[in-house]
Amino acid sequence: MKNNQSNTMPAYVHSQEAQQKLYKRTLTIVLMSQIFGGAGLAAGITVGALLAQDMLGTESFAGLPAALFTLGSALAAYLIGGISQRKGRRLGLSFGFITGGIGAIGVIGAATISSPILLFISLFIYGAGTSSNLMARYAGTDLASEKQRATAISIAMVATTFGAVAGPNLVTPMGKVATAIGLPALAGPFILAAVAYILAGLTILIYLRPDPLLVAREIALHNQIEANTESAIEANKLRVNRVGVFVGAMLLVLSHVVMVAIMTMTPVHMQNHGSGLTAIGLVIGLHVAAMYLPSLGTGILVDRIGRTAMAVASGMTLALAGILAAYAPGDSLLWLTIALILLGLGWNFGLISGTAIIIDSTNVHTRAKTQGSIDVWVALGGSAGSILSGIIVAYSSYAILGFIGAYLALLLIPIIFWARMKQKN
């Protein structure tokens, strides 16, 4: 297959029409994989905390499952970034998705034998799917022009909506499936996750050929040589807008920390106030829909009105979500739903604008490795947010968690304007 890819590479390097066809084909393959990946992602978000609480008998460690699979996603992001840098997007992403599916199978086993140790190990491995789901957005941008990048990110993300919204709302039906075959009800969503992640990985592995990142590198190299600037190749490899990378990274990390912390404890908060799994699934489903469904519009806005404006909108929306979550009564399905929808929307603004800033600030020769490294910090931030969210709620309240989230979100705004002033100077 490697030889086939090498033989077809010149056709893409020398033809803009072929490049556009490959760009559209790549987006289609990413869309297909993200539909499956979204369903796999939703399982851990919805019932991971409840499964741990059921096994351990306390909510103090309810944030640990999300912490573990976000910590696992940090390691996976590093590995996927490294594999993608050396071998291309296809092998990196398929490795992550299939590994996540194996982790989901382990969670099913842990729930069956009621083993917290196996649960925690499996959730860590399951995190690889979460990382792949997020990093797949980069594959759609490799062949996109500067004015298409945010839109390409959004197209890749919007497909996740179908699986991610269906996932939480399949909690009760999948629980019945699990019970019917002799497994605990809470293991049901992870049956869906295992199948979904493995299908996503196989879709990427089989169909993402030729690899868009490898093609983009060949095109960049060819263009430099054609312009008789061979000496500039090495300089271009080293050229990185470090301020832009920092701002994009902070935007991704802080928005993710706020979103994960509040989202993780919402199912536990609702259950403590008498809500059932169906109501929890509805709220989380709408939250995940808000994370991904607005993506197409967000991408267009980021490309047209600018990265900075949408980054500020992210901070303000996340802050409003934290304040609403803090003041919403624990038994109010309406207000918690509104708060979680705003939480997802603010995260969406931050993810797409932050990703676009990072792509603008790097080059094709080192981009995959940089992207992977930043996603490591995103995952580590999410892991810290998950752990601290459980401790904060256990020793203070869910309202305090909301206020802390709002404060962190507002920190984004001075960081963004500092960077803008720095770049002008």
Digit-coded pLDDT (tens) for 320-361: 999 999 999 888 889 999 999 999 999 999 999 999 999 988
CA quadruple 246, 251, 252, 255: dihedral, nearest 10: 150
Sign, CA torsion 226/232/235/241:
negative
Query: Which of 75, 131, 120, 146 shows the shortest CA–CA distance to 98?
Result: 131
Residues 6+ positions from 182 with CB-CB distance below 8 Å: none
Please give the Cα distance from 193 to 177 (Å, whole number).
14
Tell me: pLDDT of 217 over 80: yes
Tell me: pLDDT of 250 over 90: yes
Please give the Cα distance from 358 to 218 (Å, whole number).
21
pLDDT computed for residue 188 by the predictor: 87
Please give the Cα distance from 13 to 308 (Å, whole number).
33
To the nearest whole percent, how much of the chain has pLDDT over 90?
37
Tell me: pLDDT of 206 over 70: yes
Query: Which of 210, 195, 192 shows the shortest CA–CA distance to 91?
Result: 210
Q: Which residue has the tokens 């600037």?
A: 229
Specify the higher pLDDT residue, 264 or 400: 400
Q: Are 347 and 259 in contact (CB under 8 A)?
A: yes
Specify the higher pLDDT residue, 70 or 276: 276
The residue count for the chain: 425
Query: What is the arithmetic mean of pLDDT over 232-255?
Result: 78
Q: Which two tokens stand for residue 52?
A: 């741990």
- Coil, strand or helix at 381: helix
CA quadruple 293, 296, 301, 304: dihedral, nearest 10: 170
Following DSSP, what letter does each residue of 98-124 receive, concatenated? HHHHHHHHHHHHHHHHT-HHHHHHHHH
Tell me: pLDDT of 166 over 90: no
Tell me: pLDDT of 233 over 80: no
pLDDT computed for residue 228 by the predictor: 59
Query: What is the arithmetic mean of pLDDT over 19-37?
Result: 87
Tell me: pLDDT of 83 over 60: yes
Q: Are 164 and 40 in contact (CB under 8 A)?
A: no
Backbone torsion region of residue 208, taken as left when φ is above 0, otherwise alpha when ψ lies between -120 and 50, otherwise beta: beta
The pTM is what?
Answer: 0.78
End-to-end CA distance of the chain: 49
Instruction: Give 424: exposed, middle or buried? Use CB within 10 Å, 0-12, 13-18, 19+.
Output: exposed
- For the stretch 106-142, pLDDT in tens is 999 998 998 888 988 998 999 899 889 888 888 888 8
Supply the mean pLDDT for the chain: 85
What's the CATH superfamily of 16-216+240-420? MFS general substrate transporter like domains (1.20.1250.20)
Query: What is the arithmetic mean of pLDDT over 19-23?
Result: 85
Range in 85-99, 326-340, 365-379 the model is least confident about:
365-379
pLDDT computed for residue 425 by the predictor: 63
pLDDT computed for residue 1 by the predictor: 46
Please give the Cα distance from 170 to 175 (Å, whole number).
8
Query: What is the arithmetic mean of pLDDT over 293-313?
Result: 91
Query: What is the arithmetic mean of pLDDT over 373-399?
Result: 88
Please give the Cα distance from 73 to 49 (Å, whole number).
17
For 246, other C-beta atoms within 10 Å of its C-beta total: 18
Q: Are 350 and 410 in contact (CB under 8 A)?
A: no
Q: Which two tokens stand for residue 131?
A: 């990382």
pLDDT computed for residue 53 by the predictor: 77
pLDDT computed for residue 67 by the predictor: 72
Tell me: pLDDT of 146 over 70: yes
Query: Which of 189, 59, 27 shows the shortest CA–CA distance to 111?
Result: 189
For 347, other C-beta atoms within 10 Å of its C-beta total: 26
> Which amino acid, 233?
I
Tell me: pLDDT of 182 over 50: yes
Residues 6+ positions from 67 with CB-CB distance below 8 Å: 382, 383, 384, 386, 387
Q: Which two tokens stand for residue 256?
A: 């993710």
To the nearest whole percent, how much of the chain has pLDDT over 70?
89
Range in 45-49, 126-130, 367-371 the model is least confident about:
45-49
Please give the Cα distance from 65 to 73 (Å, whole number).
12
For 218, other C-beta atoms within 10 Å of its C-beta total: 17
pLDDT band with cut points at 50, 70 and 90 for residue 384: confident
Tell me: pLDDT of 226 over 70: no
pLDDT band with cut points at 50, 70 and 90 for residue 164: low
pLDDT computed for residue 326 by the predictor: 94
For 153, other C-beta atoms within 10 Å of its C-beta total: 27
